[in-house]
Structure 1
């Protein structure tokens, strides 16, 4: 029985089939017994209570022989299957037999025979029996797990042989918690391989259920199974079944908790040894597939920063295995090894690239990446494909590995700047981009994740190369950026952009837009704060910016990436045009301000702050005002009316309230504040009073003296009074106190409706918002004249961001 069931055939191993349901799944859930069947004796009645009472008796002559005789009679009676209605009593009899085994070994055979009956379908007389006797069935099946404690190899194997043979029994096993007792029984079978393999087979079947996987996970099944992966096993079944169970636990229970169980030194050492052995000595299809499965499980564990991957030496080995083909190594682990172009080895290579990306997120790994010459190994793929040298991989395989390698570089290279530069990284990438743009005949297969949209063209290669350059440029490392500029990167990027827009490609529009966005971001990173580089950007650069700004606004809603491209374009105006007067003038001459105002008129909130910031900066150029005043939108809208409309929209969104005279009200009546909150609010209030009054004072001094102003005003007396109140309010604000008579007075000065408090608040409706604040008072643009670099898309100098732009660009 063992050789037929537990020792799975070599043919099944070779095919790598994961038979999660097993051939037992074809067995019916329960057998339905008809009246004819009953007439034939299937439900032949037997007094089970009498058998139970007999087995409970002790100390009588000839009792054991009589008890064994009745149990054999029971087995013959139920030779066609156990009825659901009798299951509870039959399992009570089984439990009594099991209890006698220690002192009366003959009862092993009786228990064995009863357990064997469990392999037959359970019988029901009524359709409702499954529901009626569900609890009895679940408790009975759960009892089998407890019987694993009996130190009988034959009995344990028979128990395992019966389990999970039907969906109904698996369902009942869930209810009864059989999975837990089976996991716990593993500790009793340390040196008993045959029984252990049978238990693993049971757990493999049980782990096809999410409920059972959760039960097993809570019983620490993952760590318990993983630590024994290297136990001696000539059959190869232990590793196969164990990996299947680990897979199911990761897929069907809490992935985080399973990873936590496996993130210890003992488990990782076991996985490391298994992977190393399979990598070096696994030659069959089955071995290679199992090796890849172990690597995927390891990759999942490596995502946990607390996993001791470096401490157990696994990281170092994985880096060696990932690079030994490209960088020759004298390490004995890889001496004489060579990967084939089989599907399993090809998948292995991609998995190794992927695990490097995961491992590099742990900074202590950096030195191991340097020692392993990972950058050099990856750069062997960043070149024009040479047919005569592509021996190990097919053309399609090599292309996929090439794209995967470049994508891996985007994550690793920013961490290893010195290695990147010593490998002439910039020169290699720029030369590869030249080939991407060339007319060199090349048939791209585009049949992988990284090759999406690149079939028959070089867009995929260009896309990932630009991502790599973008990641390096946004490190803001002057050595890298200076080297790029000296190699003509600015001119090359502009040339690629112009070439792309000269050959529209609607089929691959999304990828083309991504390429254009990355080019503009690279140019922004290179030109920011460098006048000479902005001059190199020049009129050709301005032309590509204007080209994007002329895009049909309806495309912004297409979801293809026009929004991202527009953000990149506006960013390039900041970094590549503003501050360079010839470029600014050319932008104005080409009606760039008109295009900015057209975009502003679209009233899309995500663009407004950025455009307004650019407009403020352009206003430093004396030629800008004429363009702003000359602009006309739909229905002859002017720039002034557009800005006022935006202001009102902002007020509405902020919930600013006004009274019947249109004055802003309710600065103070805020709900839900404690006494301490009101004290803090009072401090804020007084500080704002002081700042407002000080601003008024500065403005008056900057224009004319107060006395000269009074001399030309007919209502001098009223203004003198206002001045005294103002000075009193300033003085009170300085000392953090409000006069006791802080009441509001309404004064009408030549039609100027002014509300002046005798205390600390002055709200003048006609005073410019930049002086008194308003709905935009808490924004960077309202507070001071700043480029967008100091506002919505401020670049944080102290933080290095890898692989992603340093600006928050919504998609």
Structure 2
């Protein structure tokens, strides 16, 4: 964010203070003194201990003159730079001089001259001196921060001036904690602008280091600097240097902690006033650039839901600034204002769209977005390009703003759905999609983040419009979805999909796959639980689903988005085909079950659950079994073999153990169970055994009595044997490890009288109700959701199928 203009201003102010040429900043960090250098008297010896002893003396006649004379001699001796080996003693002398200033003001000049020497490179005689004297150097530099307490403007400026150089000094400043003392010194300079600017310059240089930024952040530098952004400053340096420091703190220290420091009313009011002033009265390139920087900092703070953006009025102003060009306003803040097509104003417009997305995450902002007519403002961009525009943006700029506006609508519209509908949002989006699909000549620049993959085509516009439509559909607002269906959205989506697959585009394959995925998700959202809409989806819809399912499986590993497209496709089978008999039959006729089993055979866990759920639902259709039995995979694998293989894999992943005979040996080997827990577990185990047996019996004899069935069956002997086996199983389940106080009831099953434990009334006094929640619940509801007759699935028209959950689709 440093600009030549700002730099020139800063350097001009510095020139009145400097006594040395600026070329000193080009000198290396540490100068190396050789034997030849010593021969040239670069390293002049001096008894520093004698100077220290002299400065420590008091109450002698003529002592001050003598002390000043020796300090002056010291400065002359080290005019080529301070040796690292002597640094500790020299700074002790400096500290003694500074301690005398209050009663002997003449020592200001001595301290000033010594500090001035710090602007020169530190000298070393040996290569190892930097390491050997590192601690002395760090402590010495840290002392400079303490000297800021001396109430001398000249001395403070000289201290700050010395810090504008070398990386070695910044490294030593990190060790010595200079950044902390410099931040603390800001409180001493409330009304002293020149000194404050110099301190800010020091902090600006120090904040290039992550270590220093962390030190500054802990010293509350962010809030301390931010609250003074509006202090009077004709030079403009205060705002520039402060914003630069805030940037560095956000980038190089804990972003969360810095945001927390800035998330208070005082800081946000300061930022608000700065931004308003720059927005309304900033006309130079530098002002506009600084304005945008302040807005970015504000956007980062706005991500914190605890920041009082609404309370300080900043949210309302930002919404106004974001929409005043599109929605006419009589507010005095924007009256007569106009954005140009300059780069800075163009960036500002995009930043304002972006901050709206951030602000809308805070629900109390919704009413302000309504009042500001944000939806209407954003929809001014959702139309084909026109020659007449509110602002004379270039074609590339307008396209980028258009895409940015549609992306913003995807976040805002679901929160303001009534506003969206009042603006005829569905009609606008569908009309825009129609233009996206048309042959209307349009040269897309595709040169922005949102325009990725859209150069020379309308894919970017279609991509973001479909995202918007998907966000609206998945609100599951029936008024919105009904309106979409009445406007022919299902047919339009299928048409767009068919048009896309008829014109393969390998260059923009990833964008095309995303578009296809979103179309299928939109169709799923519209058709789910609506038979009439599934009928509209019809065979044309089934065809596009089958087209995707025939994709080469190797492409699933390409990383382009085929996985997401497959998820969307499976979702559309669930929502758009299942439950609509003609579509189901057409899907079967076109070998859709074969394609599902082919996908299942890929053995990709992320797809298995969803595919199996779909298969279960399809088995309600009596025509499905033949297709399942007819399928053959690699090496003549059958569907039954495939399912068994999947079961074994699942067992392995769950860690299920079996004995040598294949019996599961750890169902009940569960850790951490008490005696009461084991009793309850036994009840559950036997209860489930009974339910399995009883349910099988009930389903088998649901329509005919057992006696009638036997009389009409040629294989009566076999069935009698089956009946006997079932009775034994029930009895075994009833008596095996039976709790002594379990209550049993006489139960009549059609055609069969036997004594079985009743699921509705089984209680065990030894098992406290707090452990089982009272009597065990009846499982009939669960059975109704998945009706079984001899292993084949049957339709149940009266009960909505809800037990197989839809797979979450990645976005």
Same fold (TM over 0.5): yes
In structure 2, distance between residues paired with 1:103 and 1:728: 111
Residue of structure 2 equivalent to 1:166: 166
SS of residue paired to 1:763: coil
Cα distance in structure 2, aligned partners of 1:587 and 1:34: 89
Name the CA shift for 1:3/1:583 in 2 (closer, same or farther; >3 Å). Answer: closer
Q: Which deviations, in whole Å up to 9, do the C-alpha atoms of 1:175-223 show, x marking residues without a partner? A: 0000000000000000000000000000000000000000000000000
* Contact kept in structure 1, 2:378 and 2:409, CA below 8 Å: yes
> CA 1:329/1:59 → structure 2, altered by over 3 Å: closer, same or farther?
same
Matched residue, 2:223:
223
For 1:536 and 1:576, the matched residues in 2 are separated by 9
Does the aligned pair in 2 maintain the 1:222–1:249 contact within 8 Å? yes
CA spacing shift, 1:124–1:644, aligned 2, 3 Å: same
How far does residue 10 in structure 1 lie from its aligned partner after superposition? Answer: 8.1
Output one character per residue of 1:113-168: Cα deviation in whole Å (capped at 9) or x when no partner: 11111111111111111111100000000000000000111110011011141111
Shift of 1:711: 13
| Conserved? CA contact 1:754–1:765, under 8 Å | no
Q: Once structures 1 and 2 are overlaid, which stretch shifts more, 370-379 or 787-796?
A: 787-796
Deviation at 1:49, TM superposition (A): 0.8
1:673-731 per-residue CA deviation (whole Å, 9 max, x = no partner) reads 56676566556546545545654664686599899999999999999999999999989
For 2:682 and 2:767, locate their aligned partners in 1 and report how far apart those are by CA, in whole Å.
23
Alignment check: 8 A CA contact 2:700 2:789 kept: no
SS at match of 1:747: strand
| 1:369-405 CA-partner distances (Å, limit 9, x unpaired) | 0000000000000000012437520000000000000
Quote the offset at 1:550 in angstroms: 1.2
Higher mean alpha-carbon deviation, 731-740 vs 673-682, is at: 731-740
Deviates more, 1:621-630 or 1:693-702: 693-702
Unaligned runs of 5+ in 2: none
**CA distance, structure 2, for counterparts of residue 246 and residue 789 of structure 1:** 71
Bigger mean CA offset, 12-21 vs 532-541: 12-21
Q: Answer whether contact 2:296 2:351 (CA < 8 A) is retained.
A: yes
Q: 1:3 to 1:280 in 2, by over 3 A?
A: closer
Would the aligned equivalents of 2:315 and 2:359 in 1 still touch at CA under 8 Å?
yes
- Superposed CA offset, 1:773-809 (max 9, x none): 9999999999875699999999999999999999522
Q: 589-598 or 215-224, which moves further after superposition?
A: 589-598
TM-superposed deviation, 1:583? 1.3
Moved more, 500-509 or 759-768: 759-768
* Secondary structure at 1:513 match in 2: helix
* Unmatched 5+ stretches in structure 1: none
* Offset at residue 609 of structure 1 (A): 1.7
Is 2:787–2:795's contact at 8 Å kept on the other side of the alignment?
no
Q: How far does residue 667 in structure 1 lie from its aligned partner after superposition?
A: 1.2
CA separation in 2, counterparts of 1:442 and 1:697?
A: 69
Structure 2 CA distance for aligned equivalents of residues 301 and 803 of structure 1: 44
Q: 1:742 to 1:184 in 2, by over 3 A?
A: same
CA shift for structure 1 position 548: 1.0
TM-score (norm 1): 0.87
Q: CA separation of 1:39/1:206 partners in 2, compared to 1, >3 Å: closer, same or farther?
A: same
Say if 1:638 and 1:733 are closer, same or farther in 2 by CA, change over 3 A.
closer
Question: In structure 2, do the counterparts of structure 1 residues 709 and 176 end up closer, same or farther at CA, with 3 Å as the change threshold?
Answer: same
Q: Report deviation, 1:642.
A: 2.1
Contact 2:701 2:750 in 1 (8 A): no
1:236 and 1:789 mapped to 2: Cα distance? 84
The worse-fitting range, judged by mean Cα deviation, of 66-75 and 437-446 is 66-75
SS in 1 for 2:748: strand
Counterparts of 2:682 and 2:27 in 1: how far apart (Å)? 79
Contact 2:610 2:806 in 1 (8 A): no
- Contact 1:614–1:787 (CA<8 Å) still a contact in 2? no
Distance change in 2, residues 1:715/1:20 (3 Å): farther
Q: Relative to structure 1, is the Cα distance of residues 275 and 135 closer, same or farther in structure 2, using a 3 angstrom cutoff?
A: same
The answer to whether the Cα contact below 8 Å between 1:229 and 1:271 also exists between their aligned partners in 2 is yes
The 3 A distance-change label for structure 1 pair 170 and 802 is farther
Distance, in Å, in 1 between the alignment partners of 2:349 and 2:57 is: 68
Contact persistence 1:48–1:89 (CA under 8 A): yes
For the 8 Å contact 2:679–2:767, the answer to whether it is kept is no
1: CA distance, partners of 2:800 / 2:335: 39
TM-score normalized by the length of structure 2 = 0.87
Does the C-alpha gap of structure 1 residues 785 and 640 become closer, same or farther in structure 2, counting only changes over 3 Å? farther
Q: Deviations over 1:617-636 (max 9, x none)?
A: 12222222222222222222
Task: Encode CA deviations 1:408-440: one digit per residue, 9 max, x unaligned.
Answer: 000000000111011110000000001000000
Instruction: Indicate if the aligned counterparts of 1:193 and 1:233 stay in contact, CA closer than 8 A.
Output: yes
Task: Give the distance between the partners of 1:188 and 1:668, measured in 2 at CA.
Answer: 73
Q: Compute the displacement of 1:741 (Å).
A: 14
Q: In 1, distance between residues paired with 2:252 and 2:39?
A: 46
CA 790–298 in structure 1, closer or farther in 2 if over 3 Å, else same: farther
1:746–1:510 CA distance, 2 compared to 1 (3 A): farther
- Deviation per CA, 1:67-116: give whole Å up to 9, x if none: 11111111111111111111101100110111111111111111111111
CA distance in 2, matches of 1:687, 1:490: 48
TM-aligned CA deviation for residue 63 of structure 1: 1.1
| Structure 2 CA distance for partners of 1:636 and 1:153, relative to 1, 3 Å | same
- The offset of 1:664, in angstroms, is 1.9
Structure 1: how far apart are the matches of 2:2 and 2:361? 47
**TM-aligned CA distance change 1:655 to 1:227, over 3 Å:** same
Structure 1 pair 676/65, CA: closer, same or farther in 2 (3 Å)? farther
Partner SS for 1:784: helix
Task: Render the CA deviation track for 1:507-528: whole Å, top value 9, x for unaligned.
Answer: 1111111111111111111111
Call closer, same or farther: CA 1:527–1:423 in 2, change over 3 Å: same
Q: By how many angstroms is 1:498 displaced?
A: 0.7
Question: SS of the residue aligned with 1:169?
Answer: helix
- In 2, the alpha carbon distance for the partners of 1:20 and 1:434 equals 70
Q: Distance in 1 between matches of 2:261 and 2:677?
A: 47
Distance 1:354 1:790 in 2: 59
Q: In the aligned structure 1, how far is the partner of 2:132 from the partner of 2:406?
A: 62
Whole-angstrom CA distance in 1 between matches of 2:790 and 2:49:
87
Task: Report if the CA contact (8 A) 2:527-2:575 is conserved.
Answer: yes
- Cα gap change, 1:741 to 1:292, in 2 (>3 Å): closer
**Structure 1 residues 810 and 158, CA gap change in structure 2 (3 angstroms):** same
Residues 663 and 765 of structure 1 are in contact (CA less than 8 Å); yes or no, is this contact kept in structure 2?
A: no
Indicate the residue corresponding to 2:367 in structure 1: 367
**Cα distance 1:441–1:779, how it changes in 2: closer, same or farther (>3 A)?**
farther
Deviates more, 1:193-202 or 1:777-786: 777-786
- Find the aligned partners of 1:173 and 1:679 in 2 and give their Cα distance: 70
Change (3 A) 1:455 1:71: same
Asked if the contact 1:739/1:758 (under 8 Å) is kept, the reply is no
Deviation at residue 493 of structure 1 after TM alignment: 0.6
Deviation at 1:591, TM superposition (A): 1.6
The structure whose RCO (Cα within 8 Å, separation 6+) is larger is: 1
Name 2:478's counterpart in structure 1. Answer: 478
Alpha-carbon distance, 1:649 to partner: 2.1
Q: CA RMSD in A?
A: 7.1
Is residue 32–residue 124 contact of structure 1 (8 Å, CA) maintained in 2? Answer: yes
Cα 1:490–1:609 shift into 2, 3 Å:
same
Structure 1 position 41, deviation (Å): 2.1
Over residues 455-501 of structure 1, what are the superposed CA-to-partner deviations in whole Å (9 max), with x where a residue is unaligned?
00000000000000000011011111111111111111111011111
Q: Distance in 1 between matches of 2:560 and 2:15?
A: 43
Deviations 1:733-791 (A, max 9, x none): 99998458999999999999999999999999999999999999999999875699999
- Separation in 2 of the partners of 1:189 and 1:792? 86
> 1:371 and 1:120, CA in 2 relative to 1: closer, same or farther beyond 3 A?
same
**Residue 207 in structure 1 maps to residue 193 in structure 2:** no
Q: Name the count of aligned residue pairs.
A: 811
Aligned-residue offset at 1:647: 2.0
CA pair 323-440 structure 1, distance change in 2 beyond 3 A: same
* Structure 1 residues 188 and 409: alpha-carbon distance in aligned structure 2, compared to 1, 3 A threshold: same
Secondary structure of the structure 2 residue equivalent to 1:746: strand
Question: For structure 1, which segment, 344-353 or 630-639, has the greater mean C-alpha deviation from structure 2 after superposition?
Answer: 630-639
Determine if contact 1:753/1:765 at 8 Å carries over to the other structure: no
| Aligned 8 A contact 1:27 1:165 in 2 | no
In structure 2, relative to structure 1, the CA distance for the partners of 1:768 and 1:208 (3 Å cut) is closer
Moved more, 17-26 or 64-73: 17-26
Query: How far does residue 563 in structure 1 lie from its aligned partner after superposition?
Result: 1.2
Name which of structure 1's ranges 511-520 and 59-68 shifts more when overlaid on structure 2.
59-68
Tell me, in whole angstroms, the C-alpha distance in 2 between the residues paired with 1:72 and 1:796: 104
Give the deviation of 1:610 after TM superposition. Answer: 1.4
